Amino acid sequence: MPALGAVVLGIGAYPPSAAGEGIPALQFPAKDAEAFAAYLRACWPEPDMVLRLLPEAGGTGLALRRAFDEIAARGRFDLFVVYLSGHGVASPETTGFLAQPEPGAGAPQVVAAAELDRLLRAVDARRTIFILDCCFAEAVVRGMPFFTELDDSEARLFIASSRANQFTWEDERAGHGVFTAHMLDLLNTGSAARLGGVRDQVLVDAELFPFLCEQVPLYVLEHKGARQEPVKGGVSTGEVTLPVARAARRLQDRSTLGTALRRVRQILVGIGGASVVGIALVYTLLWYPQLDRNGEIVLLHGAAWLEPILRYAPSGRVHTGLRLEDLSPDPAMRQAIQSGSLTGVWTHVSRDGHRSWYDRLRPGLDPAAAQRADALAGLSPAGRPRGNPDSPSEVARAAWSRLSEPDAATLAWVLQAIPGADRRSPLVTRFDPNLVDFTIDDRTARQMQDYAAALRAAAMVDPDRTLPVYLGFLKATQEWLGQNTDAQRGGGSHEAVAEATASVLPVIASARRDRGLAPVDPATATALTALAANGYFETAGRALAQVNGAAPPAGDVARIALARFQGDPFDEGQLQALRVLTGTLDGSADGKALTTGVLASFDRAGRSEDSFRTKFLIDAADRRALPPAVISELLAGARAALRRPDPDFMDQERARILAHGMRDIPAPDRPTVYALIARVAAGITPRSGTLAEIYGALGAQGLAPPGMLEKVAAQAAALPQRPRYQSPGEENPGMTIVVGGPIWAVALAQFAKTRSLDVKSLEVLQRFADDPDVAPLVQAALAGRGGTAGLQCDRTRCSGLPARAPQDTRARQLDADLAAINLAQQPAGAFRQALSTLRKLRAAEIEPEYRMALGRLIVGAQVQRSAPRAVGQEEF
Amino acid sequence: MVLEGALAVAGGGCAGGAVAELLHWWNLRQSTQIPDYAKSLFYWSLTVLMVLAGGVVTWLYFGEHAEALVALHVGISTPLILQKLVTSVPEKPGAKNVITKPAPTVRRFFTW
């Protein structure tokens, strides 16, 4: 009898017309069948074997039956092997192997278990092995009673590729179905780790099947993440073996531990990938606050607990412009910000249309800082509480906030809170030094200054409503000055309060001038003059003296001041008079006459070389109030100094005065002054503040000799910012010694008044742009000489807006300050239009830090416009 | 109409998610697995999760203030996007099976 009969069929592809849903094509069944047939051919020579390898395309049910019939017709076989590879079908309706459709038929044919059972019975063989490689293979074979009885055979065995409810898989790496690949690997090589060597024969039950049970599930779990467990069954009276074809191994042996470790690695990679996605989402969506090394509150990407990971990524979102000192004094309130535990979602927007991080930070801020920030950001509408009217600081803040958002009700509230209302009528009264009013006299200097600040802010918004309130407050301040001394209130408090009160009138005057009105109406000027003559000199007189363009009344005040000044500036009253006199100086004949009068007073008092005299002459020179006689005297002194072999301290003073008055020195005499300056420069350190002052004064007038600007720029660039050193007591302004960068930055800024500076010089100025001592001058220089483009606004938009610079608060705020300076210089109509447009743009802005920058611009522009610096007050 | 408050905003998103899931279940009515889905607590839990996801994503976007219609739209889109993400994960090839009545799976549940 022939040794082997075999029917081999592998179907992976179905004709297109028959293809339908749920029947995907398979890659390897045909190849599986070819490989199995090759194994059979290798192990059984041709005459001993009857093999029917059905073609894939012709693998119909009819063809299968014919193949079985042909085998059966050849008589009894020693071994009959059936190998089927392809799709399996398992459903309540039918279970079987999916064959090709018959010609002319549409759908593929299911060769059911019963049909297979009948076909197997038709072939007479001593031993039968049925190998089924398809999904749900166990479901197919369990419906075949062929394997439950031997009849006259010795063995009837089946090996199914998977359980009844499991898929059977093929894999590109194996190049076959996984089950067939492993089976062929063992049958072709005879080698496996569990066999402990190479065999010539493999026991189907004891060796082949355990090998498949071990390796197939591991392979499928590792590569498909699924379960596939081969199933065997049948009956036999003895062992059944299959020969080994002795070919090279193709598959690697797997161990359970190795597969488990690989699976764990796959899971960990999946978790890692999900974690990366999660971290990316947190990084993108969330923010948390932190204090940077400069003490500013910055917002970072992500959350504080992810900081150890996110520190390696760009983490800065925005520099808020809020600082450590803005935090609430209550540790419980500030803790969330300081610790970074506060977290929010970046995309959240508040009702007002700005990002909600501001609302989240706000509770942790000091109330005053929060009010200020609200005002800048345009978030304090009329309805919000204004504060305590009995607190001058809150009144001042409320007044200041109205610059950002005009509100008539708040203005009225502010003006009502200012003391002195009962002193307005009658207005002109004689000052009574014995009058005691504790509601005024017990105020601190800071409180009085706060009231003055409130009046300045109110004046910018509505000067005419502010003026009467101011007049009452002015009288109250004089009373306060009369009842309080520096010993009681602190050094310099007297002067600070007097100056603060006096400085309100120039703001009123500027605001009125901006509205096309006279700076001070005649009635008010007359009243102030009368008050100055009746004991209110320190306040009314000083205020009137600071108003440019109030000529006749200012002249009257000057005469009163000249009468008071007897040449002794160390007397408080005379010092006040000297300050008033300085404020009234101008280039008119009266102004020059005043200068002569003051110098005569100094001379009568024997103070011809007094530092206050020098300072007065410098101020007079700045105001072009030096009489020709004084200039001649100074020039004579310069010539004498140049003839002397040794320098004299007064040479420096003379050089300073002449430098400031260079415009008024006849051109032929200017070389003498330059020579004196050069002599002075040779005798002192090149870093001296005196030289900075002299060079700066010349630069401001456009009369600096060649090379001077370069010296100034070099000095300004060379030194870092240092703290200012003051001599004991500021009563001797001439003795102030200033070294370091800022004073030279001021000198450089002076040059910017008359010429354009190069890029390097502008960069130097930018370094000092936020130094509080010199910021106004430096920023004016930057704004006027290429520091920033002009701001232009129409009804709906503006060009030349400050840079957004979300991560550079300094740049953002400096840009806003420079834009404010530019805006303040525009004509009145354009200015008011720009303010209105800027407020609209701010209301539509989503970024809170930029809202605050726009608010800074809005407020700053009004401050710049309404409070111009008096000539000569600024520099030295 | 503006929704105020985190709960209201999330609720608007959940409403959108519910609309999407209603449409989802309506489209599944002819699916052969519908009896299995309808009787399974697991698939109903997935449905609830999709609705809640709509609410969460809407809150993430808008916080405490949102236009109701926009919140609804975001809530509708969230389950659609999530389900599309799930069904776009490639299936493992090489299963040798023909399923006349495929078993209910999450992937099939989200394919509609």
Q: Give the pair of three-digit tokens for residue A857.
A: 């611009």
Report the b/e string of A675-710 with b at 16+ CB within 10 A.
Answer: ebbebbbeeeeeebbbbbbbbbbbbbbebbeeebbe
Does residue A85 or residue A649 have the better pLDDT? Answer: A85
The residues that bridge with A245 in the sheet, in sequence order, are none
From chain B residues 34-93, the ones with a CB under 8 A of any chain A CB are 60-65, 92
Report the C-alpha gap between A620 and A590 in whole angstroms.
12
Under 8 Å between Cβ of A617 and A664: no
Cα–Cα distance between A610 and A624 in angstroms, integer?
A: 21
Closest CB to B97: pick one of A27, A135, A285.
A135
Q: Does A266 touch chain B (CB under 8 A)?
A: no
Residue A33, both tokens: 């069948």
DSSP SS3 for A8 = strand
- Judged by a CB distance cut-off of 8 A, whether residue A167 touches chain B is yes
Which pLDDT score, from 0 to 100, does residue A254 have? 79
CB A448 within 8 A of CB A497: yes
CA angle B89/B94/B99 to nearest 5° reads 90
Q: Where are the beta strands (DSSP E) in A703-845?
A: 792-793, 798-799
Q: Report the percentage of chain A scoring pLDDT > 70.
A: 92
Whether A838 has a pLDDT exceeding 90, the answer reads yes
Give the CA distances from residue A36 to residues A31, A32, A249, A714, in Å, rounded to whole numbers and listed in that order. Answer: 9, 6, 15, 92
User: Could you give the CA distance from residue A107 to residue A84 in angstroms, rounded to a whole number?
Assistant: 19
**pLDDT beyond 70 at A689:** yes
ipTM: 0.73
Tens digit of each residue's pLDDT (9 = 90 or more) over A444-493: 999 999 999 999 999 999 999 999 999 999 999 999 999 998 888 888 89
Per-residue pLDDT, averaged over A330-347, amounts to 91
CA distance A8 to A346: 66
Q: Determine contact: A165 vs chain B, CB below 8 A.
A: no
Point out which residues pair with A593 in neighbouring strands: none
Contacts of A161 in chain B (CB under 8 A): 96
Q: Which of A377-391, A405-419, A533-547, A641-655 is the least confident region?
A: A377-391
Q: Minimal Cα–Cα distance from A137 to chain B, Å?
A: 10
- State the nearest Cα–Cα gap between B28 and chain A, in angstroms: 18
User: Does residue A620 belong to the interface with chain B, where contact is any CB pair within 8 Å?
Assistant: no
% of chain A beyond a pLDDT of 90: 54
Q: Is the pLDDT of residue A275 over 90?
A: yes
Q: What's residue B98's pLDDT? A: 58
Q: How many other CB atoms are found less than 10 A from the CB of residue A735?
A: 12
The more confident residue out of A553 and A753 is A753
Element (H, E) at A127: strand A125-133
Pick the more confident residue, A132 or A648.
A132
Of the two residues A648 and A362, the one the predictor is more confident about is A362
Cα A749 to Cα A743: distance, rounded to the nearest angstrom: 10
* Rounded Cα–Cα distance for residues A704 and A673 (Å): 11
Q: Is B102's pLDDT higher than 90?
A: no
Q: What is the three-class DSSP state of B73?
A: helix
pLDDT at A10 over 70: yes
Look at residue A726 in the predicted model and tell me its pLDDT.
38
> Which structure tokens are listed for A381?
């509408």
What average pLDDT is seen over chain A? 87
- Calculate how close chain A gets to B64, using CA atoms only, in Å: 7
Total CB pairs under 8 A between chain A and B = 76
Mean pLDDT of all residues in A615-629: 93
A3 three-class SS:
coil
Mean pLDDT across the stretch B43-68? 93
Residue A816: which H helix or E strand, with range?
helix A809-824
pLDDT band, very low/low/confident/very high, at A724 (cuts 50, 70, 90): very low
pLDDT score recorded for residue A554: 60
Shortest distance between the Cα of B6 and any Cα of chain A, in A, equals 11
What is the pLDDT, as a whole number, of residue A381? 63
Q: Tell me whether residues B96 and A285 touch, CB distance under 8 A.
A: no
φ and ψ of A665, to 5 deg: -90, 130
Q: Which residue of A has its CA nearest to B59?
A: A348
**Would you call A89 an interface residue with chain B, using a CB distance cutoff of 8 Å?**
yes
Q: Which residue has the higher pLDDT, A616 or A105?
A: A616
Band (A547; pLDDT cuts 50, 70, 90): confident
pLDDT tens figures, A133-178: 998 899 999 989 999 998 889 999 999 999 998 999 999 889 999 9
- The answer to whether B107 faces chain A, any CB pair under 8 Å, is no
Which residues of chain A does B61 touch, with a Cβ-Cβ cutoff of 8 Å?
347
- The whole-number pLDDT of residue A104 equals 78
Instruction: State mean pLDDT over A87-113.
Output: 84
User: What does the alpha-carbon distance between residue A696 and residue A751 come to, in Å, rounded to a whole number?
Assistant: 6
Q: Span A532-560, mean pLDDT? A: 79
Nearby residues of B96 by Cβ (< 8 Å), 6 or more positions away: A26, A29, A85, A86, A87, A88, A133, A134, A135, A161, A167, A168, A169, A170, A177
Q: What is the DSSP string of A60-116?
A: BHHHHHHHHHHHHHT--EEEEEEEEES-EEE-SS-EEEEEBPPTT-SSPEEEEHHHH
